[in-house]
Structure 1
Amino acid sequence: MSQPPANPFGPPHDSPTPPQQQGQPAVPQQPGPPQQPGWPQQQGQPYGGPHLAGPPPKKSNVGKIILIALAVLLVLCLGGAAAIWFTVKDEVGDVVDATKTRVVAPATLAGRAKNTDPQLQTVADQMVASMKSEVKNETSTVGAFYGDPTKQDLLMIAAVSGVMADPKKELDEAVTGLSSELSVTNMTAVDAGPLGGDARCGDGKAEGVPLGVCIWADRGSVGLTVMYFKTAEQTKAEFVTIRGQIEQRS
């Protein structure tokens, strides 16, 4: 009668070797896996213990965020926005006010802390440098990120100040660029807030990420806000607050 095969890893730890039955040939013992000094033999796990890794880290999608930011940069630099000239005397007061306009990046924006991720900061710096080189007669520029992408709460701003010869034209050109670069649709007029000018908001999508986009233009500045992972309605609800913290007049 055949005998069952021997345990390839030997008898259980501390178990006595079963006695050889009379009349049967001795079955040689198979060696168990080598034991590390100071480590007890693991029972029932001949191929190693369970993985002890914690939960996977949340993805920040920084790569996608950067690509979207670069597309936004193209939009703002399409027309070389600022130009100091005007033709109607009644516009003199507007131009004087425009020369006092500046755009800034506050430490917090609409309750969100400034994001200091090195990759995002590098892109923000590149945005500012490019706007300074492409936009004519700018008086200030800003590019920054706020919030936490791992919580799907990230806000990007990009703006430039300078005397705008035709703010409506700047706004139209920016809207056309957004439609092309970020597939923004349904751009509708929204309340521009106490700083005046014109503003529009719409829904976009780039690199598979939904975007809420709002843009403004007035005599002294043009700029936009992009909320990643949000809709235009969500962005519009905060637009006046955000713009009011970016655009300042002395």
Structure 2
Amino acid sequence: MLVVTAATVLSAGCTALPLLGGDRNFAAREVASEPRIRLVTPQTLGGLPQSPSRPLWNASRETLAALRLEVGETTSAIAAPYGGRTETEDAIVVSAAAGTIDEPSALLWAIVAAIDDATDIRPVRPGPLGGDAKCVVGHSSQGKQAVCAWADNDSVGIVRFLSDSLRDRRDEFVEIRAQLEQPAG
């Protein structure tokens, strides 16, 4: 059931994601001369291998397309699902874009506000690269999910945890972000 409904959970979980800014554009007007962040997709994430699930890949790419609209001159981007190979295996779906962002805190709140049935919004340590981060746990009409996101002046990303059980994923999020986001150079 987890794999079958994952794409629906992802899209239903963020109804307004392509319209994050509405009339606002969070992309910086001036582009930094050198990228400071490089995004990478490791072979495994949270102990899970990359997923072969086409619906999960499509969902991660759709989310990335929305994030790219909010980043000035994208310098690095990733979209990948992990796990979800069986009906009971958890899945982690990541999407992130690096570039320049004028108002990272406002963008983060727009992301959180776009999540349907967002309950239990919690701040989380953003990790060694800073910025602002939040995690949301709750239910969508198709299942259970925890969504964590970060935004700073150089990048924005969303990490979705799809599972049969809801649990606090804040510590896992910090570890996952550290694996995905590296200093450029």
TM-score normalised by length of structure 1: 0.62
Aligned CA distance change for structure 1 residues 81 and 246 (closer, same or farther; 3 Å): farther
Of 105, 117, 120, the match for 1:183? 117
Alignment-mate amino acid for residue 105 of structure 2: K
Aligned CA distance change for structure 1 residues 245 and 70 (closer, same or farther; 3 Å): same
Alignment match, 1:67 = 8
Alignment match, 1:231 = 166
Tell me which protein shows more strand as a share of its residues.
Answer: 2
Of 179, 201, 215, the match for 2:149? 215
Alignment-mate amino acid for residue 186 of structure 1: D
Alignment match, 1:83 = 28
Of 103, 108, 120, the match for 1:171? 108
CA deviation map 1:116-163 (0-9, x unaligned): 123333443444455446754222222211113522411111111111
| 1:150 aligns to 2:150 (yes or no) | no
After TM superposition, the structure 1 stretch with the greater mean CA deviation from structure 2, 70-79 or 149-158, is: 70-79
Aligned CA distance change for structure 1 residues 217 and 73 (closer, same or farther; 3 Å): farther
Is the CA contact (8 Å cut-off) linking 1:215 and 1:223 kept in structure 2? yes
| Secondary structure of the corresponding residue to residue 139 of structure 1 | strand
Of 43, 56, 62, the match for 1:120? 56
Is the CA contact (8 Å cut-off) linking 1:73 and 1:127 kept in structure 2? no
| 1:106 aligns to 2:35 (yes or no) | no
Is the CA contact (8 Å cut-off) linking 1:155 and 1:228 kept in structure 2? yes
Is the CA contact (8 Å cut-off) linking 1:213 and 1:232 kept in structure 2? no
Q: Percent identity?
A: 30
- For residues 153 and 171 of structure 1, the distance between their equivalents in structure 2, rounded to whole angstroms, comes to 25
Alignment-mate amino acid for residue 66 of structure 1: A
Aligned CA distance change for structure 1 residues 218 and 136 (closer, same or farther; 3 Å): closer
Larger Cα-atom Rg? 1
Alignment match, 1:5 = none
Is the CA contact (8 Å cut-off) linking 2:78 and 2:96 kept in structure 1? yes
- For residues 66 and 122 of structure 2, the distance between their equivalents in structure 1, rounded to whole angstroms, comes to 28
Aligned length: 178
Is the CA contact (8 Å cut-off) linking 1:211 and 1:226 kept in structure 2? yes
Aligned CA distance change for structure 1 residues 76 and 225 (closer, same or farther; 3 Å): farther
TM-score normalised by length of structure 2: 0.81
| 1:162 aligns to 2:96 (yes or no) | no
- For residues 213 and 134 of structure 1, the distance between their equivalents in structure 2, rounded to whole angstroms, comes to 18
Structure 2: runs of 5+ lacking an equivalent: none
Alignment-mate amino acid for residue 121 of structure 1: W
